[in-house]
Amino acid sequence: MRDVAIVGVGQSRFGRRNDVNLQELAWEAVREALSDAKLSQKDIQYSVVSNMGLWSAEELPAVVVNEYCGLTPVGSHRVEAACASGSAGVVSAYNMVASGAVDIAMVIGVEKMNESPTDAVVELIGRAGYYLWEFENFGLTFPGYYALHMSAYMSQYGATEEDFCRAAIKAHHYGSLNPKAQFRSEITMEQCLSSKYVAWPIKLYDSSPITDGAAALILAGGEIAGKITDTPVWIRSIGYATGTANLSKRLDFTGLDAARRAADAALRRVGLERRNVGGHFDVAEVHDCFTIAEVMAYEDLGIAERGTGVQLLREGQTYKGGLIPVNLDGGLKAKGHPIGATGVSMIAGLTDQLLQRVQPRERQADIRRGWALAHNVGGTGHYAYVTLLSLSREGGPQ
C-alpha cells in the first residue's frame, strides 16, 4: 500500500444555493481543487462522488457531476453513508490510490438539500434511522434522536442547556469569520436559550441547518504527490466502524460506540491511545450536527474524559488558543451540513489549516505539531470515520 497525500482542495459557498443546480455547485469545488493542485481534468484518473441525494432531482449524481465537470470518461462511482458519506468517499478514493490502481483520484462531495421543502427533508433524514421501527412507529426525526442523547447526558452528568449553547456560540463565532459559511453572524447566550424547542431539550440554535454545498479533494500517491506540490498533506490513518441501527440495542446514550471504535482504530495506527488526544493535534473538525454531538465527540475521541466534555466549553478550551481548537470553520452548526459534502469539507478545511493558509487569520490555528483530526458520523451513530492528517509522511504525533 502506498502513502497517499492530499494535493488539492476546493469548497463551494454553503447555504441555500438556488442560484445553481447540483452539477454547477459541484463544479465550484472541483474548479477550486484543480486550481489548487495546478492540474487539469485529464490528470484525474478516478472520481468518487459522495451524495445522499434523497431530496435531489438527480438519481445518478456521479454521472451528471462528472460529465459537467469534464471528468468523463474517467472511472467513477457514488458513495453513500448518510451524514458520513463524504468520509466514506475519501476512504474509497484513498484505497484506489493506496492500492496502486490509480495515481491520482478526486473525491467530490455535493448535496442540494433545498430542492425539497423543509418538512420533506426532515422526514427523509429521519428515515436514515431505523426506519420501520423508530420512524414509522414512533415518529423519531433526527432532532428527536439527538434529544435522547442530550437529555441522557444532562441527567447523568448534570450538564445544562447553557453548556450546550456554548458550543453553538463558538460555532457562530467562527462561522461569522468564514466567507463560505451558511450562517455568518454571532449569537448570544440569550438568543440561544430563547430559541424555540425543536425536540426538548434541543433548540433551534442547537441544530445544524439544511444546506446546499460541495467540497472536493485531489489525492495522489507516494512520490507523485511530491511532484505535484511542495506541500502535500498526508492521510496518515483512517479509522471506521458501524453501529447498530436499532437504538433499543444500545446500552449507552451519552456517547457513540461506533465513534469510539473508529477513534481507537485511527489512533492505534499512529501509536496513540484514546486519551489525552487533544495534546497531540493542532486542530480538529468534529461532527456537530447538534451541540450534544460536539460534546459527545470530545469524549468519544479521548479529548475529554466521559462526562467532562462540557467543561472544555466552559473553559473555552476548544477555541483557538485552547487545548485543541475545534471547528474553526463554524462546523456543521454554522458553516452548514450538506450531507454528502460534510466529510470532504472537514478534510479540505483541515488541509488549509495545516498549510496555514486560512483567511482571515482569526480562524487559523497555531500549527506546531503538524497534525489534524477529522471526526464524521453518519446516521445516529450508524457510521463513524476518524481521519488523521499530517504534514509529515513518517513518525507519529508527539
Digit-coded pLDDT (tens) for 224-243: 999 999 999 999 999 999 99
pLDDT mean over 277-304: 97
pLDDT of residue 137 exceeding 60, the answer is no
Residue 245: pLDDT band by 50, 70, 90 thresholds? confident
Q: Which entry of 149, 173, 337, 375 is annotated as an active-site residue? A: 337
Q: Which entry of 69, 83, 192, 289 is annotated as an active-site residue? A: 83
Distance CA 26, CA 368 (A): 33
**Residue 97 and residue 91 in contact, taking contact as beta carbons nearer than 8 Å:** no
pLDDT of residue 386 exceeding 60, the answer is yes
Q: Is 375 a catalytic residue?
A: no
Q: What integer pLDDT is reported at residue 391 of this predicted model? A: 98
Q: What integer pLDDT is reported at residue 249 of this predicted model? A: 84
Distance CA 235, CA 367 (A): 17
pLDDT digits (tens, 9 = 90+) for 316-357: 999 999 999 999 999 999 999 999 999 999 999 999 999 999
Better-predicted residue by pLDDT, 41 or 128: 41
Residue 247: pLDDT band by 50, 70, 90 thresholds? confident
Domains assigned to the chain = 4-116+210-228 (3.40.47.10)
DSSP three-state, residue 271:
coil
Q: Which amino acid is at 351?
A: T
Q: In this structure, what C-alpha cell is assigned to residue 255?
A: 456517547
Alpha helix segments (H runs only) across 158-205:
161-175, 189-194
- Cell 442530550, residue located: 150
Residue 204: pLDDT band by 50, 70, 90 thresholds? very high
Neighbours of 42 (CB within 10 A): 9
Q: Output the CA torsion sign for 66, 20, 116, 374.
A: positive
Better-predicted residue by pLDDT, 121 or 291: 291
Q: In this structure, what C-alpha cell is assigned to residue 262?
A: 473508529
pLDDT of residue 140 exceeding 80, the answer is no
Residue 134: pLDDT band by 50, 70, 90 thresholds? low
- pTM attached to this predicted model: 0.97
Q: What integer pLDDT is reported at residue 126 of this predicted model? A: 76
Residue 131: pLDDT band by 50, 70, 90 thresholds? low
Q: What integer pLDDT is reported at residue 133 of this predicted model? A: 63
Q: What integer pLDDT is reported at residue 57 of this predicted model? A: 79
Q: Which amino acid is at 366?
A: D
DSSP three-state, residue 93:
helix
Q: Is 382 a catalytic residue?
A: no
Q: In this structure, what C-alpha cell is assigned to residue 149?
A: 442523547
Q: In this structure, what C-alpha cell is assigned to residue 165?
A: 449553547
pLDDT digits (tens, 9 = 90+) for 18-63: 999 999 999 999 999 999 999 999 999 999 999 998 888 788 899 9
- Cell 421543502, residue located: 117
Distance CA 151, CA 241 (A): 25
Nearest one of 103, 63, 385, 109 to 219, comparing CA atoms: 103
Tell me whether the omega of the peptide bond preceding residue 201 falls within 30 degrees of 0, making it cis. yes
